[in-house]
């Protein structure tokens, strides 16, 4: 029996409730996608859970947030200054 079929037997509700524990690679992919608002509710829940269980990814998320807010701040500040 193919592996995918076995996995489906293990988790009969997988279709309605996909596995919430994401891999780090998937979590990081979703981190950037979620900033564009394109992730589903399940993906968001999985990401939230992953951030609470995986310190390295939580750290990456915090750094990314800090960098983005700094960039926004610089952009806003730049916009307010008269250009020479
Ligand atoms: Zn992780």
CA angle (33, 41, 58) in 5-degree steps: 55
Angle (deg, nearest 10), helices 41-53 and 24-35: 120
Q: Which residues surround ligand 1, an ion (CB under 5 A)?
A: 24, 27, 54, 57
Question: Residue 29 in contact with residue 37, Cβ under 8 Å?
Answer: no
Whether the model pTM is above 0.75: no
**Which is it for the CA torsion 32, 33, 37, 40, positive or negative?**
negative
Return the structure tokens found at 27.
């979590």
Segment 1-47, tens digit of pLDDT: 555 555 445 544 445 555 678 999 999 999 888 877 888 998 999 99
What pLDDT sits at residue 13? 47
Listed by start position, the domains of the chain span 3-80
Q: Which residue has the higher pLDDT, 46 or 83?
A: 46
CA 11 / ligand 1 centre spacing (Å): 22
CA distance 9 to 29: 27
């Amino acid at each position: 029996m193919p592996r995918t079929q076995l996995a489906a037997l293990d988790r009969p509700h997988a279709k309605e409730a996909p596995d919430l524990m994401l891999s780090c690679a998937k979590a990081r992919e979703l981190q950037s996608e979620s900033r564009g608002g394109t992730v589903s509710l399940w993906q968001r829940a999985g990401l939230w859970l992953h951030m609470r269980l995986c310190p390295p990814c939580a750290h990456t998320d915090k750094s990314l947030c800090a960098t983005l807010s700094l960039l926004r701040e610089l952009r806003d500040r730049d916009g307010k200054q008269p250009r020479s």
